[in-house]
Amino acid sequence: MVRGSFAERSERGRRVRRFGPILHGRLQRVSETISAGAAGTWTLGDLTVNRIGFGAMRLPQHDRAFAADAASRDRDQAITVLRKAVELGVNHIDTAAFYFSRLRSANELINRALAPYPEDLVIATKVGPGRDSSGEWLPMATPQQLRGQVEENLRQLGRDQLDLVNLRVSGPGAITEQFEALATLRAAGLIRHLGISAARPDHLAQAQAIAPVVCVQNPYGLGFRSAQDALVRACGAQGIAFVPFFAIAGVGREAGGSGTENDEVLSIARAHGATPVQVRLAWALHRGPHVLVIPGTGSPEHLVDNVAAASLRLTSDDLTRLETVHQAEQ
């Protein structure tokens, strides 16, 4: 049972984070309090996940994902973040073989930190884009090359089957041939469930004509890509998960958050004793029970804050004020 108001629990979390290393028993008690399960669950095909998940793109480097000269992040800290995420109830991790810096690979870190994997852990990965060994982007994978990308993820994660593979779309062209190739790999048992990412409504229709789609993973957040609202609703109506990325970073995209925050968000955060980031995550979760967030961080403190957002309940007045912020998107 979750005890205390959001502000009280957050303060308890902050106190323990400050003294976490020397108060291990206390940290475990907070883990019982701050839980990814506090926002409820959703089922991806036959796999049930807590609605607060984790995005692994930030683990290999600090911000500036994919910048050739981005400094690699500390390996032990990345492993700590992953293990703490699972300890806090995160059982939906988003990754990709193309998430790597010069010295770190997200998939390798996940494997090192979490294998043998917990029974309930769902690892979602993406295929389509690819990078060569020096990090340069390659042309989108052909249908024939998708098998190699799936196998690359299997090798790096140390699995025989991938729980969920998103076809990461690039541009408005039809995805029929690529999705058919993934459906074939699914039928062969290499993949359990399929999704699409950076996709348009017509891509969803093309994919659904070939195989079941359990999620759409698209850029979306408070005041960011409000044109996605209709697709978010359409996914909910069809029982498909909508998984927003950049729900914190917004227009900052790969560069991360700007550090400046909207006054309305600040005011609502203050009223709840929460952070603006927590308000952004809670807002996304309030868009519907099928919305699963995957905040990305390489920071243990940010991770705890993000998971704590699972229990932040916004009022109808908050949501009305935030809708104005959302629709006023620049």
Chain position whose Cβ is nearest to ligand NAP: 296
Candidate ranges 17-25, 157-165, 177-185, 246-254; the one touching ligand NAP (CB under 6 A): 246-254
145, 185 in Cβ contact below 8 A?
no
Structure tokens, 255:
């560069």
Q: Where are the alpha helices (DSSP H) in 244-315?
A: 263-272, 276-285, 300-308
Coil vs helix vs strand at 163: strand
Classify 78 in phi/psi space as left (phi over 0), alpha (psi -120 to 50) or beta. alpha
Site string for ligand NAP, 169-208 (x = CB under 6 A): ----------------------------xx----------
Contacting residue, 157, 167, 175, 247, with ligand NAP by CB under 6 A: 247
Q: Of 6-14, 152-160, 284-292, 298-306, which part binds ligand NAP (CB under 6 A)?
A: 298-306
Please give the size of the binding site for ligand NAP, defined by CB under 6 A.
28
60 binds ligand NAP (CB under 6 A): no
Cite the beta strand spans of the chain per DSSP E.
41-44, 47-50, 54-55, 92-94, 122-127, 130-131, 137-138, 162-168, 191-197, 215-219, 241-245
Q: How far is CA 294 from CA 191, 291, 298, in A?
A: 21, 10, 13
Q: How far apart are CA 179 and CA 163, in angstroms?
A: 16
Q: Are 196 and 127 in contact (CB under 8 A)?
A: no
Nearer to ligand NAP, 37 or 298 (CB): 298
User: Which residues lie closer than 8 Å to 238 by C-beta, 6 or more apart?
Assistant: none
Q: How far is the CB of 155 from ligand NAP (least distance, A)?
A: 19
Of residues 85-104, those binding ligand NAP (CB under 6 A): 94
253 to 272: interface string for ligand NAP, x by CB under 6 A: ---xx---------------
The region of 146-154, 188-196, 294-302, 318-326 touching ligand NAP under the rule CB under 6 A is 294-302
Which of 20, 23, 63, 329 is in the footprint of ligand NAP by CB under 6 A?
63
Active-site positions read 99
Q: Does 277 bind ligand NAP (CB under 6 A)?
A: yes
- The strand pair at 92-94 and 122-127 is best described as parallel
Tally: H helices and E strands in the chain: 12, 11
Smallest gap from residue 187 Cβ to ligand NAP (A): 24
Q: Taking CB under 6 A as the rule, does residue 298 contact ligand NAP?
A: yes
SS3 215: strand
163 binds ligand NAP (CB under 6 A): no
Among the listed residues 6, 33, 44, 55, the single contact to ligand NAP using CB under 6 A: 55
Q: How far is the CB of 55 from ligand NAP (least distance, A)?
A: 2
Q: Which residue has the tokens 């989108």?
A: 140
Closest by CA to 141, choosing from 110, 112, 115, 165, is 165
- Name residue, tokens 């959703």: 42
- Sole binder of ligand NAP in the list 85, 295, 310, 311 (CB under 6 A): 295
Query: Rule CB under 6 A: is residue 217 a binding residue for ligand NAP?
Result: yes
Q: Which is nearer to ligand NAP, 154 or 292 (CB)?
A: 292
Site of interaction with ligand NAP (CB under 6 A): 55-58, 63, 94, 126, 168, 197-198, 217, 245-249, 256-257, 277, 294-299, 302, 305-306
